[in-house]
Amino acid sequence: MPTDLVTTAGQAAGRVADALAGLDLAGPVRDLAAALPGGRTATLAARPGWAELAALGGRARRHSDALDAAARAYLDAEAAARAAAGPA
């Protein structure tokens, strides 16, 4: 089991979460509607669904945590097996 690669993937997912978690797509789209009242743009910008990007950050954070937990579990199991086997 490539424990270090799972750890690395988890760290990369953490960076994705850092990049995406603070983003607010709904806010600027709402401002877009407010900036152009009366047109089709305002109608379309008022549709729900633009907050999805912020949700992505949360999912990436949970993905990172899951990978990190898996890597730790595998590493613990590996170390436990070596300890059980005793000195080489």
Partner 1 sequence: MSGVAVVALADVRRWDPTLLDSAARRLALARDRVLGAEPDLRAARPPAGWLGSAAEAAGREHAWIAERSRRAAAALTELGPALARAADTVADLHRDLARLEALAAAHGHRIDPDGTVTAPAPALPWLPADPLAAELTAAVADLLRRADELDATLAAALTAADDAPDQPRGDAPPAAPHPGAAPDRNTAWWASLTPAQQERVLRTDPGLVGDRDGIPAAARDEANRSRLDTETAGADAAIAATRTRLAALDAPTGPGFGGIDPAAARPALTDHLADLQDRRDALSTVADTLAADPTGRHLLLLDVEDVPRAAVAIGDATTADHVAVHAPGSTSTVADSLPALTHDLTLLRENALNQLALAGRPDATVAAVAWLGSETPGPDAALARFLDGLAATRPGGEPVVELTGRDHDLAPGTPRQHDTAATVAALPGSTP
**Interaction site with partner 1 (CB under 8 A):** 1-13, 15-16, 19-20, 23-25, 27-29, 31-32, 34-41, 43-45, 47, 49, 52-53, 56, 59-60, 62-64, 66-67, 70, 72, 75-76, 78-80, 82-83, 85-88
Residue 35 Cβ vs partner 1, minimum distance, rounded to whole Å? 4
**Smallest distance, Å, CB 66 to partner 1?**
6
Question: How far apart are CB 61 and partner 1 at their closest, in Å?
Answer: 10
Whole-number Cα distances in Å, 27 to 10, 20, 30, 43, 55: 29, 15, 5, 15, 14
| Count of Cβ atoms closer than 10 Å to residue 10 Cβ | 19
Using the 8-state DSSP alphabet, how is residue 38 labeled? T
Measured between alpha carbons, how far is 28 from 35 in angstroms, rounded to an integer? Answer: 10
